[in-house]
Amino acid sequence: MLYKTEGIILKSTEFQEADKIVTIFSKNYGKIRAIAKGVRKTKSKFGSSMEIFTCAIFLISKGRNLDIISQTEIVDSFFQTSKELEKYAFAINCTEVINKLTEDREINKELYFLFKELLNYLKDAKDPRLLALSFKWKVLKAIGYQPSLYRCFKCDKKIEDEKEAFFRIADGGITCNECARQDKNDYIRITGYFVRLLRKILTTSLSSISKASIPKIRIQELEYVTDIYLAYYSNNIFKTERFLKNF
């Protein structure tokens, strides 16, 4: 059985003498693992279409263990050259997020287009760290882990513009100061700025975020909470996290 879909290469691994096994995040079929036979030969019909961050139209035949890529047509190549190491590293990190948080064959078109936007805007982003962190929260929202940011999860009181609040990862939301004073176990103290920033991130397009920047101290708070929240809901340690701390 043949099927056709647009997709982006998440991972590309050499296999045997001339083949590659690739992981494709596709628009119509979710995450797919497939083999491209003979791709490493000099006169391969696939050209550069099996490289990571390549967006292409794939013609694929169903296989017993791995599907087989029959034909490709490149739509776009993101970060074909890694001249800007920092932005390339953030792209790799976001790719790991997609790969770890999605199941095989689980269709999520919203997430597909979000990832495609991320790769497009990351190339010229004013603050790539802010864009990558914002992307992670949007991914969490798309798969059903959006935190509660407007009402206290304990007493349902509306959270106004308070100077600080408390975030409890396990409950996926913030609590008012009064409830937090009664039980401060497992809470992260956050600023009112963080609450307003995260609300903005979750309702603002990546194109707009790519043109924005925020003070370093605010980025540090956002990154700290993002890392803890993402680790809790993914149970994975991403390989590039430590590397990104150097930028």
pLDDT tens, 108-154? 999 999 999 999 999 899 999 999 999 999 999 999 999 999 999 88
Does residue 242 share a domain with residue 120?
Answer: yes
Alpha helices (runs of H) in the chain, residue ranges in sequence order: 85-101, 109-122, 128-142, 177-182, 192-203, 206-209, 216-234, 241-244
Which of these three, 77, 105, 135, is where a domain ends? 77
Q: What is the pLDDT of residue 80?
A: 61
Which of these three, 24, 57, 77, is where a domain ends? 77
Does residue 102 share a domain with residue 51?
Answer: no
Does residue 71 share a domain with residue 94?
Answer: no
Give the residue numbers spanning the domain of 182.
82-247
Does residue 91 share a domain with residue 198?
Answer: yes
Domain count, the chain: 2
Chain segment 49-68, per-residue pLDDT in tens: 999 999 999 999 999 889 99
Is 82's pLDDT higher than 70? no
Does residue 158 share a domain with residue 42?
Answer: no
Backbone Cα Rg of the chain = 20
Is 163's pLDDT higher than 90? no
Which letter does DSSP use for residue 151 in this model?
B
Is 42's pLDDT higher than 90? no
Q: What is the pLDDT of residue 99?
A: 93
Does residue 98 share a domain with residue 35?
Answer: no
Structure tokens at 40: 């490493």
Q: What is the pLDDT of residue 74?
A: 96
Q: What is the pLDDT of residue 43?
A: 81
Does residue 131 share a domain with residue 92?
Answer: yes
